[in-house]
Structure 1
Amino acid sequence: MTDPNLPPAPLLSWAENTLGPLAAIRPLPPGAAPSTVWYLVRRSDSARFHLKTAPSPGDFTRETFAYRHAVPALGPGNAPRLLGTSARHLALILTALPGTPLPQVRLTEAAQKTVHWRAGTLVAELHQAGRPTTTARREASAFLSRLADGWTRHIGAAGDRVPAEDLKFVMELADHLRVLDRLPLGFIHGRGLESGLRWSGTSRLALQDFDRSRFAPAVVDFVHLAYGPWADRPRVRAAFFDGYGRSLDAEERRALRCLTGLHAVRSLAEGPVRADKAASGTARTVLDRLKSEVSS
């Protein structure tokens, strides 16, 4: 009988052929990504790794591309290193990063400013990594429109869980998003940045989870930050952009408001389904603030 905590035998055999005999193997709790991840410890030197399987060939290809062509720009120790891939298993072997996921760390505002300044420098390096092909540039330019279409379909399906006034507001935001043009492009992280950041104290910050990375408008990477830690901490936001090396231009600021509003209404729609009153309360606060800004 197979152990449900272990990778399938062929996958485990490939991992040991790549790394050598393993002393410990355990599954990691499911995260925001749909990937399956195991924590590995090598017997010979106690080095730590992650074995990650992608949910689809497209996800595997995208993440492999990110680790080979963009992530090295972050520098040694600032992101996992890719040690091996298997298209047959849709699997990647990565070095395991030290530290604690940033959302689990309690920091003073002064420490948050330090962390977000460092995060800004990392994200700037990622956004500037590589040059998109003509096809990638075309897809990146259409990304916000596709994002607006997907979110409005999702929110429209929420029915009476979202007030009609909010639905009307978010549809207007989506319409604005579709006509924004010439936004600066970059190789984005594509997932909530905070969840991908790991903090080891002092100035050591690293970034992981590149399964949604792609060329797209750079502003997409700032939505979860604007919705979360920046919402009532303008100095933390300013520290990030000091590290990032530039401020958002007028079109990017409009795009960020639209994207943040869409995210808020989506959270408002999903909150009752998940019985998550805190998420619904945060969404309501963010949405009311955005509506007030627009009306003024």
Structure 2
Amino acid sequence: MTDPKLLSAPLRAWADNILGPLAAVRPLPPGAAPTTVWCLVRGSDNARFHLKTAPSAGAFTRETFAYRHAVPALGPGSAPRLVATSARHLALILTALPGTPLPRARLTEAAQKTVHWRAGMLVAELHQAGRPTTAARREASALLSRLADASTRHIGAAGDQLSAEDRKFVMVLADHLRVLDRLPLGFIHGRGIEAGLRWSGTSRPALQDFDRSRFAPVVVDFVHLAYGLWADRPRVRTAFFDGYGRTLGAEERQALHCLTGLHAVRSLAEGPARADRETGETARTVLDRLRNEVSV
């Protein structure tokens, strides 16, 4: 069996052809996206690049589209730059970003507010990048219904981690999500925004990992933040939306409430398979919090 940490000979040959002879190749730890990533160092100038192999043709297509048509709107230094792609290998070569993944950066709350204010501006630019085709707009409008439909499967998989009252509550969230149809659409990142951000102490953070990016209701991009950091740091949430340039409308707030609850149930469903007790405890806390908030 081939060691997945080793860059295969065909991929190495392709990278050498694009970049020139490489001085070093090393695998990177898994990040927010389920891709395999290697750091490449070019021999002629020690410039660093990342070679990513996508887990599917769909992920490759989405990320390639994002880097070609949306990411340039973010400006220099705000995201990796696409160097080359290979549909044969489902691979992309990107410039390497400096800095640290934001979840690993040790920041005070004041620093978090500053970073999230700047992140809000960056995400607003992404959401406004490009215009969806008619087909993309139709697919974006149907996304919330698909997420609501998936909740039935997640409730079943969560099993006895959910009480009868929990199941009823989640189904109410799902039903309500299906009728929210006047939500602003945009080009979303699609993964956890915070997990995709890198911070190097410069004027603004940078964003990476676009394999789930697509046109969709922009509120979808805020679920992971509402599920995690914002629950305990409301002033960080306020700073983000100050940078974003607007607050959420009434239907977006309702959608975020519903989507956060459905994300909690999905986490409960997937937690046992990962033997992740902390994930299950967080999901339980989120569900209890939502049930105590104003109902949808």
TM-score range, shorter-chain basis? Answer: over 0.9
Instruction: Identify the residue that residue 146 of structure 2 maps to in structure 1.
Output: 146
Instruction: Identify the residue that residue 156 of structure 2 maps to in structure 1.
Output: 156
Calculate the TM-score normalised by the size of structure 1: 0.95
Q: How does 1:133-282 map to 2 (within 5 A)?
A: 133-282=133-282
Equivalent AA in structure 1 for residue 294 of structure 2: V
Q: State the Cα distance separating 1:199 from its structure 2 match.
A: 0.7
Contact kept? 2:21, 2:42, Cα under 8 Å: yes
Q: How does 1:1-80 map to 2 (within 5 A)?
A: 5-80=5-80
After the TM superposition, which parts of structure 1 deviate over 6 Å for at least 4 consecutive aligned residues?
none
Equivalent AA in structure 2 for residue 277 of structure 1: R
Q: Structure 1: give runs of 5+ residues left out of the alignment.
A: none
Provide the C-alpha distance between the structure 2 equivalents of 1:3 and 1:147, rounded to a whole number of angstroms. 36
Aligned residue pairs: how many? 296
Q: Percent identity?
A: 84
Provide the C-alpha distance between the structure 2 equivalents of 1:202 and 1:10, rounded to a whole number of angstroms. 37
RMSD: 1.7
- Match of 2:5, SS state, is coil
Q: State the Cα distance separating 1:60 from its structure 2 match.
A: 1.1
Provide the C-alpha distance between the structure 2 equivalents of 1:258 and 1:144, rounded to a whole number of angstroms. 10
Q: State the Cα distance separating 1:6 from its structure 2 match.
A: 2.7
Rate the CA distance shift 1:71–1:167 in 2: closer, same or farther, 3 A.
same
Rate the CA distance shift 1:31–1:152 in 2: closer, same or farther, 3 A.
farther
Equivalent AA in structure 1 for residue 133 of structure 2: T
Q: Deviations over 1:3-59 (max 9, x none)?
A: 753321111111110001101101112233222111101011111101011122221
Q: State the Cα distance separating 1:170 from its structure 2 match.
A: 0.8
Q: Deviations over 1:158-215 (max 9, x none)?
A: 2223222211111110111111011000000000111100010143310000000000
Equivalent AA in structure 2 for residue 79 of structure 1: A
Q: Deviations over 1:67-114 (max 9, x none)?
A: 000001110001000000111111110001000001111211110100
Q: State the Cα distance separating 1:294 from its structure 2 match.
A: 3.1
Q: State the Cα distance separating 1:281 from its structure 2 match.
A: 2.5
Instruction: Identify the residue that residue 127 of structure 2 maps to in structure 1.
Output: 127
Provide the C-alpha distance between the structure 2 equivalents of 1:115 and 1:212, rounded to a whole number of angstroms. 23
Equivalent AA in structure 2 for residue 177 of structure 1: L
- Match of 1:70, SS state, is helix
- Match of 2:170, SS state, is helix
- Match of 1:231, SS state, is helix
Rate the CA distance shift 1:242–1:152 in 2: closer, same or farther, 3 A.
same
Contact kept? 2:25, 2:40, Cα under 8 Å: yes
Provide the C-alpha distance between the structure 2 equivalents of 1:147 and 1:74, rounded to a whole number of angstroms. 28
Equivalent AA in structure 2 for residue 293 of structure 1: E
Provide the C-alpha distance between the structure 1 equivalents of 2:132 and 2:294, rounded to a whole number of angstroms. 34
